[in-house]
Amino acid sequence: MKIHTEGIPIVPRGAPVAIDTEFFGQDEKRLHRPHGKFACLSVAYGKDVYQYYTVTTARNVLTKLRRATWVGHNLAYDITQLRGIGVEVPRRAVWDTLLVDRVLAYNADNSTHKLDALIVFNMLRKFLWQPRFGR
């Protein structure tokens, strides 16, 4: 994995790109409302991770990635926050792992829907349900 702080990944139309944002100074009770100060946009494609630290750069990068399939955990939060700081995010199809977890109820008995729990469950599921030799 290589981490870049400059450049924009060249991504084919429809290819999955992981998107995540970070903000400073947010109130836990108001996370559903845009507020706080933009800290970082992270974009992962293939084995490369790109990090951007200004709103202007984030806006330019997301415009270039508008035809990719955005993947993230709780993208509704990220999109709400980006729109709140003036980044135009058009309505589009995305792959939100938080919503997928809720719909498929992988984590129903725990009901936390946290990304780490989802990862552990899927690792166990792949191990337990993988084809065994000699069967």
Neighbours of 9 (CB within 10 A): 18
Look-up: residue for tokens 């974009």? 43
Domain residue limits at 124: 105-135
Kindly state whether residue 100 falls inside one of the protein's structural domains. no
Cβ-Cβ contacts under 8 Å for 26 (sequence gap 6 or more)? 35, 36
SS (H, E, C) 72-114: ECCHHHHHHHHHHCCCCCCCCCEEEHHHHHHHHCCCCCCCCCC
Residues 66 and 27 in one domain: yes
Residue-by-residue pLDDT tens, the chain, 135 positions: 899 988 999 999 989 999 999 999 878 777 777 778 899 999 999 999 999 999 999 999 999 998 999 999 989 889 989 888 888 887 877 888 887 777 666 555 555 556 666 666 666 555 545 444 444
The pTM of this model reads: 0.73
d(CA 64, CA 104): 32
Question: In CATH, what number is assigned to the domain containing residue 20?
Answer: 3.30.420.10
Kindly state whether residue 81 falls inside one of the protein's structural domains. yes
CB crowding 86-119: b at 16 or more within 10 Å, else e: ebebeeeebebbbeebeeeebbeeeeebeeeebe
Kindly state whether residue 86 falls inside one of the protein's structural domains. yes
Residues 25 and 79 in one domain: yes
Q: How many structural domains comprise the chain?
A: 2
